Structure 1
Amino acid sequence: MRLLLTVLLLLHWRISSGFVPVSSSPKPTKKAASVWDTRLLATSHDTTTNNKNEDDDTDTSSLRRSLLLGIGSSSVAMMTLGTTQDAALAAVGTLPEFQESNAILQGLTIDVVDQSQLKTMIDFLNQAFGFDVLRQRIRGSIEEVWLGFGPEELAIPADFTLPVSSFGKYGGHASLCIRYDAKSTAALYRIGDSNPPGSNIAFLQVGVPSYRISQMSNNGGNILDAYGFVNVISPSGLPIRGIVGIRPDPIMFVAINCDNVKQSQAFYEQTLGFSQQVYPFARPSNGTGPFEPAQPKGSVYLAPSPYSMGVLLLPSKKKVTPNPVMDSLKVVYTPSSASSDNDSSDGGGAMQVVDPSNVKISFQSASDFEQEERVTR
């Protein structure tokens, strides 16, 4: 009976989540309005947008626009594509799900204070929620470990066989990077504190087949509540919400508290090219039962692609403060052909913007990401 239930849930999510690991995939209801361009324009400080609402049947060329984003003394130029062929070239990787997307939200990076906290956080994620270590790297004083639920590569993995292989063997998974800098002296979060060190990150939501509350406690987690689903402050200070369910990628979204949801929505839509998407669920009940909440009232769910993780913008009654353990969200994008030869090879960490809730967003070109991902496995 349990096996039958699992099979039914898997079939349900292959259909309802839009996870279609075949040669074609349905078109998103909305398209990202801009194409990422990494050229830095040192002479410009203005932000220019041309935000139009178009129907799905509108020709793709009319949906594309140019956007100039000021970042300090330089800017990120978002170039216009003129043809359908250019749009295909702008796809992120070769996965069918991302062929209509020039950018995806690939994951997030958090900081820890020492190697002990790094190890504790890895054990917490692995033993409590089932995260696996995907890759790791040490560069100078900085140690990084990426965890997730399957391959991050932007192509169908060689060992993936349809319909035998599970979701965990397919590509395009998001990841959580834990970063430790031996030279940093910043006090971030002390394990066991009753509250996160800041309020702008409400939680990272994961939908997993099971979680273990005992291992959350054993590995430094501070459980806030566990009625139907669990809310816990991880040993790094990152709040996590766990839902028992099945997702193609269990890393679902980052919930961000906002002083002004409309202002934050405009930032993600007009500056980053995100679009409003259908709110994701991990269970077939779609938020109508006690084990998974419905979409919060007044919230907005956005993502650059229907098939990548996204952000949930939540209205906050209190003034939002930054959580210092949150380093950044990471957008992986394909530059326009005009700038593809000028991509930086430093991993994109130097190029960042900050949203109205003081959440940093960093950018990395798809080619740089693919190279880094292969080297650090």
Structure 2
Amino acid sequence: MTDPVYVLGGAQTDFARNWTKEGLGLFEMFAEILPATLADARVDASEVEVVHVGNLAGELFSGQAQLGGMVVAAEPRLDGVPSTRHEAACASGGTAILAACADIQAGRYDVALVVGVELMRNVSAQTAAEHLGSAAWSGREAVDATFPWPALFAEIATEYDRRYGLDHVELGRFAEIAFANGRTNRLAQTRDWDFPDGSFDENDDVNPVVEGLLRKTDCGRITDGAAGVILAGPKFAQAWAERNGRTLEDEANIAGFGHRTATLLLADKLEQSADADYMFPHLRGAVEDAYRRAGIAGVEELDVAEIHDCFTINGLVTLEHIGVAAPGKGGQAVTQEIIGREGSLPVNPGGGLLSNGHPVGATGVRMVLDAAKQVTGRAGEHQIDGARTALTVNIGGSFTTAVSTVVTRGVR
């Protein structure tokens, strides 16, 4: 990337909330996250020049499209500001971030508001699963599954087991680390959850099978929530730093990115990679693009990572694709505690998707926000000491869309 894009601040809603039970919906979600984002970034709504919204399925869950207009309804001072909604399944937020960065680096705008939202707990679990299944190839895969995404990721686990071997102890330990991390996050969906003995084992009573090799604690939950960030180019960021008594050398910026898309059917992706080094070569490519654009050699220069772990198998696979472990060795990185808080690369210190929660359109935005907090020392109880360089990996569908960013403090 040529010019840095600074992350001036942002906010996340409490992912444990059920907005429908409170009598609230998408409008109220926007009405809460927008002022919180602006306040944290110390930016006035009148200074925002463009808005990008990440959302998967507002039409399906709420019957609501035109979310750019809802942004203006929730914050009238944004009236007239251009706004675009982005959809890439669970990577919707990540693509919204990249679009905002492109706007800034192209010189079209200097200040962007990016907000990701998803309301999913207003319908039954079965209906929610069907709505989310629209991000697979409808009518062609997971057609007999009660819950499409556990079924598809169970297929990934089965293929992983066929290629490399898979021990559920590794999946269980990944989940255990994630939920422990979430306990330190005051906004995490599962921060107050209790897990009886056997919750991370092959225990059919407390950790029953959901699909295939995946059990209850291997699977993320339906989540409501929103996250927002303010991004800015160097000119505005410098003026912002001066008026707030800060120096840009101490602020977060998006130093590099990668974005690749594969074919839609999971079976086709797995067939194409049958003889490849990596199960999902385009994911590896997206991460390598982010490293290259950021000017770093690879995973050894990272201090922390935010990866997409909607399922534990997703976590293991992603660890391999970012370079923490060789293909087939991701589980060893987990059981050897490499990804724990005291490990060589702490992963998802705020709980990740498994524990923090996964409001689909918000996840990619939340990842960049948490990465920015980490590299500036503002992550609170889940701060990793000395973190200066962070990686985010946001995945859409069955590894169909891959979005990766490198977030650093200061300019490399």
Looking at secondary structure, tell me which structure has more helix per residue.
Answer: 2
Does TM, normalized by the shorter one, top 0.5?
no
Higher relative contact order, chain-length normalized (CA < 8 Å, sep 6+): 2
Alignment TM-score, normalising by the size of structure 1: 0.31
Looking at secondary structure, tell me which structure has more strand per residue.
Answer: 1
